[in-house]
Amino acid sequence: MKTWKRNAIVFAVLFFVCGGIWLNWRYEKSKAVDLVSTLDAEKILDDAALVLASREPDPAAAAAQEPGTEQSAEQVFAQMRLSRQQSRDSAVHLLQETIAYAGEGEDLSASTLRLDAIVSMALSEASIESLVISKGYADCVAYMTEEGIDLAVASEGLTETDVAALTDIVLAQTDYELPQIRIIEVN
């Protein structure tokens, strides 16, 4: 009798956990964001000057977005973090599978080095985000690749001084050169 009750409780808990995961997945799927259409301009720091590169709005994206459904900066940053985390999780999962099924040799060491690089990038991104937020900015998301780093910052107008301070943070925390740093302002 005890076994039956214990099994019933375990089944009920699993049912509710799975149901919660499914509901969360459906909710997130329904509020997917087109990040390219939410950013209307970006500030890029070139070798010596700050250049404002505005993007032409995509007519298809503008037609798809209904009036009154503008995203807040909070939602944009949350979606950026989610997208970054999902892509990183899938890469880590593939590397872990490769490590688990690989024998000794080049595949194992290359996969281990790549996994270490991903972890290192994640730690650097978190450090940069913490430092930028500690400077008084509302929010930011850093995304590092081998080619460079993108730093999206919540601001109502970045000045050259702000861009220089953000660049100093990135240069101090990473090995990137100045042309590899892109600072994007999100209103």
Whole-angstrom distance between the N-terminal and C-terminal Cα of the chain?
61
Structure tokens at 80: 């950026």
The number of folded domains in the chain is 2
> Distance between CA 101 and CA 24 in Å, rounded?
32
**pLDDT tens sequence for the chain (187 residues):** 678 888 888 888 888 888 888 787 777 766 554 444 444 434 444 333 334 333 344 444 444 444 444 567 778 888 888 888 888 888 888 878 777 777 666 667 787 888 888 888 888 898 999 999 898 888 899 998 888 999 999 888 888 898 999 999 999 999 899 999 999 888 7
- Domain hosting 62: range is 36-186
How are beta strands 181-186 and 50-54 bridged, if at all?
Answer: unpaired
Given a contact cutoff of 8 angstroms between Cβ atoms, the answer to whether 184 and 76 are in contact is no
On whether both 4 and 62 belong to a single domain, the answer is no
Beta-ladder partners of 72: none
Three-state DSSP class for 61?
helix
Supply the CATH number for residue 79's domain. Answer: 1.10.287.4300
Regarding whether 96 and 69 lie in a shared domain, the answer is yes
What is the reported pLDDT for 32? Answer: 52
> Does residue 49 share a domain with residue 23?
no
Residues 70, 151 share a domain: yes
Verify that 82 and 121 share a domain, yes or no. yes
79 and 3 fall within a common domain? no
